[in-house]
Amino acid sequence: MKNHGFYMDLVLMLGFLPRKLSLYKLAFLPKSALQKNVSGLQLNNERLEYLGDAVLDAIVADYLFNRFPEGDEGFMSKLRARIVKRKTLDYLAVEINIPAMIDPAISPGNSSKHLYGNALEALIGAIYLDRGYRASRKFCERKIIKKHIDLVQLVKKDPDYKSRIIEWTQKERVEIIFESKEEHQSGVKSPSFVSNIYLNNEEKGTGRGGSKKEAEQQAAKAVLKSIHNN
């Protein structure tokens, strides 16, 4: 790819003017390219990938911390893990057109299984070295998170409040008891359920639902909200 064409494609991808073009060229150079510099040292994006992985973790953690002020540590950790997992990064890399930036002679079939996702992390590492954390965060938030990640759907995939409250009680060494029972209302054929949660023998939350499981989830949700508000 000619320098001019590469530069223009890169500007379009980044949304800003890069300063050190060599960093970005290296970001799209996987180990399988087998390229060396004039000193005979192998050139590849592995170091940039390592750096970008750490920067991306910090950016996503920062974003989720502000986006979900009531989210507990377990909730945010699980959500972050879903965003930065390899399968998701491979998908995001394709969405922002990273495959077009890699030499077509280097195909996923004869190199790393996660060639594109690794290149995305390396790109973030390059942005960090070229323009700093603020530019890296702006790129990730505007070009990746807000544009290609449906946080609502990710959260819906893990509405397991019961697991989260149990996880919290284990961490805080608190005894938890669920007490659930059926309720029958006059004129209503289907029974409903009510669940109470006790922490160290003190009632902390109540939930209702069409099933025992739903009632327990609602009770756990109420307790988690109470914990975050205190």
Give the residue numbers marked as catalytic.
53, 121
Determine the Cα–Cα distance for residues 123 and 45; give it in Å rounded to an integer: 9
Instruction: Judge contact between 223 and 199, C-beta under 8 A.
Output: yes
> Between the CA of residue 90 and those of 71, 87, 130, what are the distances in Å?
27, 5, 23
Encoded amino acid at 29, one letter: L
**Nearest of 68, 58, 57 to residue 158 by alpha carbon:** 68
Q: What DSSP line would sit under 150-201, residue for residue?
A: -HHHHHHT---HHHHHHHHHHHHT--EEEEEEEE--TT-SS-EEEEEEEETT
